[in-house]
Structures are given as structure tokens and as C-alpha cells.
Structure 1
Amino acid sequence: MLGTKKSSNRYGQRVTRIEPPSLEEAIAAAQGLTDNIEGQVEIASQLMGMPEEEVRPVVLKISAETRQPQRTVVADRVLDRGEGAKVVVVERRRPRLAIR
């Protein structure tokens, strides 16, 4: 679905290539706009010009992969103050970048 746009200027004719986004790029854009799954399906399908029934399984698959943050639990005992064990939880959330 490549489109081209031709325009003339004083230096000659210029051709601009117009490409629609890939499905993964459209889903990443929809995830950046809303956290609602149905909203993501609607936005991605409108960006791609595809029916929602074809986009929904891919959105659900990608959102299931990106929804789980990585967790690291570190337990450390502080003995000099006489306190109990302290637990530190670190979560790393992946940034919402375009999937390539």
C-alpha cells in the first residue's frame, strides 16, 4: 500500500513516498495513547485501515508480553541498628518504543 505524491517546484519534480505504519508500529502508537485494550484495538485498526477482528489478537499478544514488569527482590539484614530484614523491590518497566 505504497503511495506516492508528485509535486513540482522550481528545481524540478519531487516524488514523496508515503508508507502506512506497520501493524506493530500502529500498536505501539496506540499503547502510547491509551492503556485500554479495546481503545488500542480501535486506534491501531484505524491507523492501518484493517478490521478490528484482525488487529485484536495481535494487540492482545503484544500487550500480554509488555504488561509484565521485571522484578528484582533484594533482602538485606541491617545488624548494627538492631532492625529486622529490609526488603527492596526494584521494578523495571520497559519504555514504550516502536517495535521494529
Structure 2
Amino acid sequence: MATGVVGDLVSYVRLFAIGLAGAIIAQVFNALSVGLSGNIPVVSWIVMAIILLIGHGLNIFISALGAFVHPVRLTFVEFYKNAGFDGGGRKFVPFKRIDK
């Protein structure tokens, strides 16, 4: 029981760390866009916008993927193990070709 609780706690701390990493990545892209934009009036805004769109787009994609994958993992690996879920259903029998 104690190891299961500790394992669940560590899993949720891992989710917190992933969220924190996303925030840090966002701050890095903000700093990168300001640092690499230069001093030319119009070009600096275009370069900044491109870096921000690509960087935050990647960060949102990774966060959306993590928002799906990690709760599914917690549900199937952690919850079902602790809830005593046995499964059920029938044995998987793949399709096969019948020669005539």
C-alpha cells in the first residue's frame, strides 16, 4: 500500500515537472525572439513573430500531446493496478485468410 501511494505521488510530481518544463520552454522562446530580432524596425517584428509562432506552436503541440498521453498512462497503469481491475472480454483472435 505504501509503495503504491509513493508511486502515485511520484507520477503526479512528474506531471507537474512536465508542466513546469513547458513554462520554461515558453520563457526561452520569448527571450530568444527578443534577442534575435535585431534593431531594424520592420524586420525585427517579423523575425520576432516567426520565432514566437514556431516556438509556441511546438510548445502547445507538445503540451497537447502530453495532456492526452500522461492521463491515459496514469489511468491504465496506475489506477487499474490499484483498483484491482482484472479486465475481461474474450481472447483476441486475429483475422486469417481462408483458402478455398
Structure 2 length-normalised TM = 0.30
User: 1 or 2 for the larger relative contact order (CA 8 Å, sep ≥6)?
Assistant: 2
* Structure richer in helix, relative to its length: 2
* Structure richer in strand, relative to its length: 1
